[in-house]
Structure 1
Amino acid sequence: MSSTPRGLGPLPPDDAYELLALPSVFACVLSYDRRVVWVSEGWMAGTGLSSADLLSTPIEDHLHPDDTASTVAAIETASSRPGQLVAFRTRVRHIRGEWRWLSWAIQANSAREQVYGWAADVTERVRAETLHEIVARMAKIGGWEIDLKTKEIAWSDQVRRIHGVDEDYTPTFADALALFPEDVDLQALLE
């Protein structure tokens, strides 16, 4: 494991600086005014930016404009609830101009007035989800799930479109079974 990130002071036993320093993780420390105090090697490698490009700059300078408000809100939420994790997704700019999707978990330390952030690059996952959604829409294929313990039903947007219901419609267990009255095996399995 790496040592304590420079400039952050001694490690209290409850802090997770070791996670911040993992080379494969996008990680940063922000001041409460959202300025970058420290970035990991993973952040620099993942964006092509140097620490000089990042340090003392507002985090908003590196975000997709459509994600700025939600990211600021997440940071403010974390700052108002020190010690609690706040999760969100945002896009950051790579030096080549492309956007990378990051899935974040952030946590504030009120004693230091700092927010620690860890993120995973989920760009390929987001691209795959988007492609899947496009293909499903074109092919008119939808997906659904049934939790057999709770009997909760989850429908994809495409299944809702196929059945001509509102986007916020969630079927009951009985509604879902009624869609397949001829499937005796399914009926027996789910009852």
Structure 2
Amino acid sequence: MTANPAPPPVCPQCGQNDMVRRVSNLVQDEPGSPLAQKLAAPRSPRPAAVLGCATSFFATMVSISAAILATGLTELTSMAPRTGLLFGVRDTSVFTGIITFLFVFVGVHAMFVWRQARASRFFRRAFTAWHQASERWQQLHYCHRCDGVFLPGQSSLTPVDQVQMLLYARRPSQPAASPANAPTSAEGG
């Protein structure tokens, strides 16, 4: 003996359930329809780009360029005696170039690491919101009579054009506070 599926929930606007369908079934049954496109499942966010070889190469090239520039400027402005180093460069110029290379290399890498961490943090937040929206989407129902969507237990119908707002709302089943249902100062205490 097979169990009968549970009847669809009642539409909060018309109070009927004869024209109510689960959104996921509607999208699956009518994939190309304009309604199915409006009610499509939320899209998963893209993960943050990962630091790679190109980042290290870029940091190295910028650092070498800065080191050469710092070495040249120090060589032009330094009064120290020339030494027997390669190309007759002064010790202070070499030291300045090495220090500049290290600082610029670490600075450029730190900037990329900071951007990577920030992008990863945004992705984690977006992924969490997407996951919650996807779970809500699985529970979402559509009333053909009223042309709106709702979550079971919700007290109002949401227009199809605002489905994304419903899915990504922090508390979709709570009615929004309005002057009519906001507590007055006499009620508050």
Q: Which structure's residues are more often helix, by fraction?
A: 2
Say which one has the larger Rg: 2
> How does the TM-score come out when normalised to structure 2?
0.22
Q: Which has the higher contact order (CA 8 A, sep 6+)?
A: 2
